[in-house]
Structure 1
Amino acid sequence: MENKDIYHYGILPDVHFRFSSAEISYAVNAASNLHGFDDAGTELLARTMLAAFFLADLVKEDTKVSVQIRFYDDSEIHSVLAYSTRNGRLKATLRHRPEEDIESAQISEENLGILKVFRWKDGECIYQSIVPFRNQSFETNIENYLRDSEQVPSFLVAYVKLDGLHWRIKGLFLQALPEAKSEHIDAVRELAGKLEEEKSKVYEGTVSQALEILQSSWNTKFEILETGRPEYRCDCSEEKIKELIQNLGKEEAMDIAEEQGQIEVTCEFCNSIYRFPKAQVLELF
């Protein structure tokens, strides 16, 4: 599969909106293949990674965003989690619930679980929002989160399609700038709705071509301010795992090392394995 992942950040000056346009097909396929996710899991993972990437554009460059959905006990999927920086450094994972732990009864017809959006800087959480994940489309849940938590009109269109053996993941995120008037917001809402209906046709080619199509059909300018390439890249390291072990405390860490002869940690995002023999664990304290 050829890597065509790309993103564009910019503005629609005529209607006072900012936009993010992206393809993250290569990154999503990399994550899915690494973990062996099925089609349903990969589709959910793709939408979550796309949402994390778009939300990361709303924060400063030295922070990152995580989007997590924790489903109720009647779901085969326990949770999905994606991280992204503003320049598209993505990592993600998905957890299935053991079959014996799945509740047979529907817990809630209105809500499917909990949506968590966190912002991180230097390993510390600097912002968090926890809202219901409702029995609506994924995109609607993200739009509702932004409306309720950020009080900013926003629209998300996601194109997620399995094409043969590979997934095609593209999308457009639109958010009102302070100068946007109600008529601008109404106009963009209508245009986003039309794109949702026509996205299979609009996204037949690249996302750059899609922007050209939209600029013509919407009769408004898409002014690109920044372009880059997203990438699936885990940021785990031996030093971070050492800090994790130190956070356990000496007593608990040594108990594990004594029982197992070592401490072994597997990164849930990239499957890298870190092993620390008992003597090395002791040296950490």
Structure 2
Amino acid sequence: MCPMVPHYKHIAPLRLDLINQMSFVAEKYLRYLPRTIPDFPSHGPDHSINIIEIIDKFVDNWDANLSDDEIFLLYVSAWFHDIGCLINRDNHQNHSVTILNRNSIVQDLLGKEMYTCLKSIVKYHSSDEDLKEVPLKWGRIDLQKVCAIFRMLDACEITEIKCPKGVYDIMITGEHPMSARADQFWRAHMNIESIQFECPKIKIYVEDCNISALVIERLELEIENDVADILSVNNVTSPTVEVTSIDMNYFVES
């Protein structure tokens, strides 16, 4: 299960207070996102914290040549990218930008350049948006690269932590059972034990390769559609996804 407080392994000590202020602002929105359980898993604070853990794993194991500012923007984006679900899950990326535009506190804390970059990352985390529209650079930030990386890492939040079995067991016996489609997604997430970054591979460990194909194929599509090309243009190794089934305490490559 995700920790209650993220570690932020790659943040400068002087910025810890700032990121904590960012999370405080974001959680005011995230706590009230309509869950629409059982059809969708949470996009609340737990989703943000899980992405921050994924960011740390990626930075530890991938040579993406990210600056301190760019890593900081990834962390901040983890908090704000889904706040637009408070308005509507459809088009939520643009609703998130609308909410940020109404929040002068975030702009005052970040400064104009970082605030502008944050809004771009938030908007373009959605596959509904064309990453090639993003400027290569914005000030000192390699913005297109950071947007592509964040979209990919958001799509990597697919393990059993996202859909806990204990919650699933309660929901399937409740008064409002989930749809067949939602049941597929919950089972797909519950089947994924972990995700690891070992450049040039994203390694996904599952109990049964077939059960999670629905979710893993979506990640592969995110990478294939623009992300891979943009990473290559920015001299970052584009990942391939490797799925491994776990069987009786040893790994068998699928």
TM-score (structure 2 length as normaliser)? 0.27
Structure with bigger strand share is: 1
Structure with bigger helix share is: 2
Greater Rg, structure 1 or structure 2?
1
